[in-house]
Each structure stands twice: as structure tokens, then as C-alpha cells.
Amino acid sequence: MSEHPLWSPSPERVAGAQMTAFTKLVNERHGLKLGGYPDLYDWSIANLEAFWVALWDFGGVIAETRGERVLVDGDKMPGARFFPDARLNFAENLLRRKDDADAIVFRGEDKVRRRITWRELHAEVSRMQQALAAAGVKEGERVAAFMPNMPETVIAMLATASLGGTFTSCSPDFGVQGVLDRFGQIEPTVLVCCDGYYYNGKANETLARIAQIMPGLPTVKRVVVVPYLSERPDVSLVPRASRLDEFLAPFKARDVEFRRMPFNHPLYILYSSGTTGVPKCIVHGAGGVLLQHLKEHRLHCDIRRDDRAFWFTTCGWMMWNWLVSALAAEATLLLYDGSPFLDRGAVLFGYARDERMTHLGTSAKFIDALAKVDLKPIETHDLSPVRAILSTGSPLGPEGFDYVYAKVKKDVCLSSVSGGTDLVACFAGGTPTLPVWRGELQCRGLAMKVKVFDDEGREMPVGQKGELVCTAPFPTMPLGFWNDPGDAKYRAAYYEKFPGVWRHGDWCELTKHGGMVIFGRSDAVLNPGGVRIGTAEIYRQVEKLDEVVESIVIGQDWQKDVRVVLFVRLREGMTLDDALVKRIKDTIRANTTPRHVPAVILQVADIPRTKSNKIVELAVRAVVHGEAVKNVEALANPEALDYFRGRAELT
């Protein structure tokens, strides 16, 4: 690693103004003299109750009551409960403003552009709230959205939350079985969908698929079709369906009524995206989501009133839920639906320039793809308002950091963050009050007691790899899994390996700078000769080579051991020959260890990934070993698995 940071905060940038203000509040309230982030972090994990009370006050949480109790059974994981006497409404906290500034800006590729003010957002939420109530949505009932990332999805969520309902969503590129695997488990009352979506310039209709889905959702009383591809879609094929204008027609806008519910009232149901079985339905509470997102937006990202926040995401990825909460910071949401690779990947930078985006969120895979085509927004786009670039979905390697600072923007806080659907938040991420070090997540999240354990549950020192764990409770621990008697699946998912400790499933190490490096999922860690290797260590080296577009690596059971097998997708027209195989092996050997060098390297035409663009090492490993791949519907390109079946080189 470099001895010098790639970026450092300075007084001229007013970096981390809200983190500074929060630290001042804590110091004054508790008679302390906390200095920079390390002091605040140490205090936060040692004083969980005081931290979350201070955050509640700093974030201006709107509630009927907070109650006196902050953390009950705080020594139990699972079982600990935050603010058990509090009553609040999530939507009320996101709809603080009612003026004529932009609340939401939307782009559907190059086809659709829209703006919605805060005043208009209130009006649309009011009408949707009344319509959902008339359709039978009560407290705790589910509203499901099979929708693009567009304003009506946000409106449906806010209206559902205002009623005390529970919202769930997935993107409209899912197939019939993928939707039923999710919504079929949670028995929604209303289904909100669209007539189609755009991707890479192509219109994709969805109503025929929705007609096939409906027999598997017998609890749905109403289907609401949002026009997108056409102004008046024909909904006659879909049972119990009406267009959005018809659904809302009987209701005039009025003040939104917010039903204040207990802190842990179910707000969202999210779904695991893996391919190891039917998706887990993960239930998250309103209060926990609100507090965690206020912390991450206002303190870790320094999102302020009138900032313009963006993340490239679909409604099937938790980053959609995370982004929408920026309304609670009184920021404008910049939504985009479609392909991020229009105009050779420059489309999002055009959006950033036009809308004076302050926070640009994307995936590590997208950054790597831009680096491969050598896109140089720094030369073509005015990105001066962008204060933060954020990345997640997979580890962002050191070369990704180099690319951003050389080719995108020099004066920006680049924050690689890591968390997941399981907590709809982050365990580790960034802060504009700390330097950015090449290849590192800047810090562990405030009040997240994150450690690194070995297989026996011993804490690992700085610089030693192990399992990412959290040893103290946090507000977005799931309420549980849907339809999981006795929380058996929930406990097995996170607490089985280390009783009383959350095991997240990432392979990582802490750094001397107080940050973290993620090496991939621990269940995909390679184990040749009994030595554990994170897959990201190999990807980083392989994808340096210009010929390699992307790669996927697995451990194959072989002669009573494990051997490393690497698959590469090359640039169009290229073939894997002996010379390139040698270059790949030499690059890996020179920059890692001989144990990292693959025993076999094979070329494939495509690499399977989930709809949130995560490559699926476990699915490929299952195919190579002749095992069934469950939940294939979670894949964006399931046909890619065929490239790994029956390869003679693997038998």
C-alpha cells in the first residue's frame, strides 16, 4: 500500500461538517473532549445507548414518543431491542419538507425525464395513501412493487409506510418464477407494477408476465399498473388491474396522515440474492432503518439539505432502500433506470453534470468496466459539485481507486462501503473527515462493533485476515425472516458459527489506518493446501491485464485437496492461448504467492451474475461439481452457467 493517502480532508472543503457538528454535540452533552473520527468511533461502541440517543436528537427524528428505554437485553444477539417504547412513522420522517424545490429527479435512459417537487410528492403520496387504504391495505399488510427505479416506486413505498404497511420490491427484469419465489412467500394485498421498462435503448414489456404471475399471488386484491412505455397501457390481460390514474381518480390530495407505530414495526421485506435456495425474506423495522440511514447519510456521507444524491441501483437491491432514505436528510433523490453503459458508460456522468450531483454511488464492477474502456470523465464532464463517489456490491480494488482519481475526479472523497441486504446498511464505509487510502474502506461504521475473528472465534490483530463479525447489537439487525418459526433460519444464518456474535460472511482484515480491506465472501474463500485465499486477491491481479474483461475463480475439489480454477472473459475476438495463460499466471505469482496461481485457466463467453451485478462463485462451483443450482431466477443471465458445464478440462 502507498505511504501517502489519495485524498485528505482540508478546511477549504468543509469536509464532514455534520460529523464535526455531531462530535461537538456529544462533547458538550457528556463533558468530553473527543477529537477526530477514531475517538468518536471508540466512544460510540463503548456507549451504544448514549450514541443512539445523540443520533436521534441530531437527526431530528419525528416521533410521538421516544420513551425512556434505549436498549433492552443489549447483551443478547439476537434478542436485543432498541427504543422499545418509541412510536414513529418512517414516511413522516422522509416527508419533512413541503416546498417547491426538487424532491425527485428521474431519468429513464434517454427516453424519459421528470421532476417532482416536495409539494407534489406530498400530494401524490396522499392520493396513493388513500387509494391503498381503500384497496384494503392495513397496518402490517404488504404492498409489493414489481417496478423500475422511478418516482412512483418511491411514492408507493411512502404511502405504504404512512399507513403502517410493509413494503417490498423487485425489479421488472425478474422472470415469473423469480417474482413468485419472493412475493409468493409474503402474500401481498396490492401489487404495483409497470407496463414495461427500457434497457440499453430497448423497450421491454411486462404485462404478459404479470398476467402469468397473478395466479400465484391469490392474496392480491388490486393490481396497479403505472404507465411507462405508453400513456394508456392495455391492462385487460391482468386480473384485478387498473391503471394508476384510474386507481387514484376518486381521491384528492390532502395532508398525509401518518400512523405512528412501534420502533420495530415491519417496514421492509428484502430478499437474499444468492443462488443457494429460495430467497430468504428478511424483515426490517422502521425505526432501525431510519436511524441507521440518518447516521450513514448525514454523518458518514455528509448529505445535507438540498444536496443531490444518486446511486445506480434497481428496486431489487438494498441500495434502493438506502438511497430513498436520503429524503430524511432533506436531499433531492436523483433516480436513473436503465443501462449505465449508454454512451460508453458516460450517461451517468452526463446526469451528474446536468443535475449538479453531489453524491455519486455505483458498483465496483461499473468502475472496473469504465477503467477497461479508459473512459475519462475528468476531461469531458464538469463534476465540480460531486463531493463523494461511493462504491459497493463487491470489493473495489486498489486499481479502481487509481482510476477514479486519475480519470474521474481528483478532489473527491472516494468511499468504498460494505454491508448488505441482511442489515440494509453498512458495517464499514467512509467519512469525509478521514484520508482515503488506496484499496481500503476508510473506517468501521459508528456504533458498529466490528471485529475480525479466526475460525475459533479469536480476535485477529490488524493485518490478519478472518471473518467479519459484529459483537454488539445494532438497530438494523433483522426483525427476523418471514415465516421462520422460532427464528431457526435467522439464527442459523448469522449466529450459528459464533454464538451471540453476528457473522456476516465477509473475509477481511483491519488496516493500520483504522480502515478495512474486504477480500470477498468467506463462503467462496479458496483453500488450496489448507491456506485460505480471498477471491478478490486473484481478481485484482487478473483484471489488470488488458485482454481480460472480467473473471471468476472457484476452488474445485481435486485429489483429496482443492485446486484453484480461473475462468476469464476476454475482449471480443480474443482467444486464450498458452502465452496469455502464462502472462496471467506470472502476474498472479509475482504479486501474490505461488498458492494463488490457478491450476487451470479456461475461457468463457460470459460470467453469471445476480440482478444486482454480483458474480456468483458458489453457483459456478456447484455446476463444476455437478450439483444443482437453486434459485436460478436470481441470475440476470442464467444461460451463462452453460459455459461451465461438462468442461473436459475439469474432469
The whole-angstrom separation of Cα 553 and Cα 541 is 12
Burial of 634 (0-12, 13-18, 19+ CB in 10 A): buried
CB 9 within 8 A of CB 434: yes
The whole-angstrom separation of Cα 424 and Cα 426 is 7
Nearest Cα neighbor of 123 from 167, 82, 159 is: 159
Paired sense of beta strands 480-481 and 281-285, if any: antiparallel
The whole-angstrom separation of Cα 87 and Cα 137 is 20
The whole-angstrom separation of Cα 150 and Cα 613 is 19
CATH number for position 153:
3.40.50.980
Burial of 35 (0-12, 13-18, 19+ CB in 10 A): exposed
C-alpha cell at 516: 478495512
List pLDDT tens digits, range 161-170.
999 999 999 9
pLDDT band at 599 (very low <50, low <70, confident <90, very high): very high
State whether 367 and 452 are in the same domain. yes
DSSP tag of 46 = H
State whether 499 and 481 are in the same domain. yes
Alpha carbon separation from 422 to 417, 553, 645 (Å, rounded): 15, 25, 31
CATH number for position 67:
3.40.50.12780
Q: How many domains is the chain partitioned into structurally? A: 3
C-alpha cell at 168: 417490498
In a domain, residue 387? The reply is yes
State whether 256 and 313 are in the same domain. no
State whether 222 and 110 are in the same domain. yes
The whole-angstrom separation of Cα 225 and Cα 241 is 7
Residue ending a domain, choose from 462, 493, 519: 519
Residue ending a domain, choose from 214, 229, 262: 262
State whether 602 and 482 are in the same domain. no
pLDDT at 12: 62
Q: For residue 203, is pLDDT > 90?
A: yes
CB 383 within 8 A of CB 377: yes
Coil/strand/helix, residue 511: coil
Alpha carbon separation from 424 to 40, 387, 393 (Å, rounded): 23, 23, 13
State whether 292 and 239 are in the same domain. no
List pLDDT tens digits, range 232-267.
999 999 999 999 999 999 999 999 999 999 999 999
Residue 117, beta-bridge partner list: 102
Residue 430 phi, psi dihedral angles, 5° rounding: -130, 175
pLDDT band at 10 (very low <50, low <70, confident <90, very high): confident
Residues 6+ away with beta carbon under 8 Å from 359:
301, 303, 307, 308, 309, 310, 386, 387, 388, 390
In a domain, residue 4? The reply is no
In a domain, residue 94? The reply is no
Residue ending a domain, choose from 519, 545, 577: 519
State whether 457 and 538 are in the same domain. no
List pLDDT tens digits, range 26-56.
999 999 999 999 999 999 999 999 999 999 9
State whether 226 and 313 are in the same domain. no
pLDDT band at 171 (very low <50, low <70, confident <90, very high): very high
Q: How many residues does the chain have?
A: 651
| Domain limits for position 408 | 11-86+263-519
Nearest Cα neighbor of 267 from 132, 168, 188 is: 168
CB 258 within 8 A of CB 290: no
List pLDDT tens digits, range 607-649.
998 887 888 999 999 999 999 887 787 788 999 999 999 898 8
CB 426 within 8 A of CB 441: no
Q: pLDDT above 70 covers what percent of the chain? A: 98
Strand order across the 388-392 sheet: 112-117, 102-108, 332-337, 308-311, 359-363, 388-392, 413-416
In a domain, residue 184? The reply is yes
Residues 6+ away with beta carbon under 8 Å from 351:
107, 310, 334, 336, 357
State whether 566 and 449 are in the same domain. no
Q: pLDDT above 90 covers what percent of the chain? A: 88
In a domain, residue 96? The reply is no
State whether 336 and 439 are in the same domain. yes
The whole-angstrom separation of Cα 85 and Cα 305 is 29
pLDDT at 610: 85
Indicate the Cα dihedral angle 449, 450, 455, 459, nearest 10°.
Answer: -70
In a domain, residue 5? The reply is no
CATH number for position 635:
3.30.300.30
Work out the mean pLDDT of the chain and round it to a whole number.
95
In a domain, residue 424? The reply is yes
pLDDT at 3: 79
User: Under the phi-then-psi rule, with left for phi > 0, alpha for psi from -120 to 50, and beta for the rest, what region is 198?
Assistant: beta
pLDDT at 377: 98
Alpha helices, DSSP H, located in 1-89 = 17-30, 37-46, 48-58
List pLDDT tens digits, range 454-504.
999 999 999 999 999 999 999 999 999 999 999 999 999 999 999 999 999
In a domain, residue 200? The reply is yes
State whether 160 and 133 are in the same domain. yes
Strand order across the 466-470 sheet: 450-453, 466-470, 502-510, 516-521
Residue 418 phi, psi dihedral angles, 5° rounding: -145, 130
State whether 241 and 312 are in the same domain. no
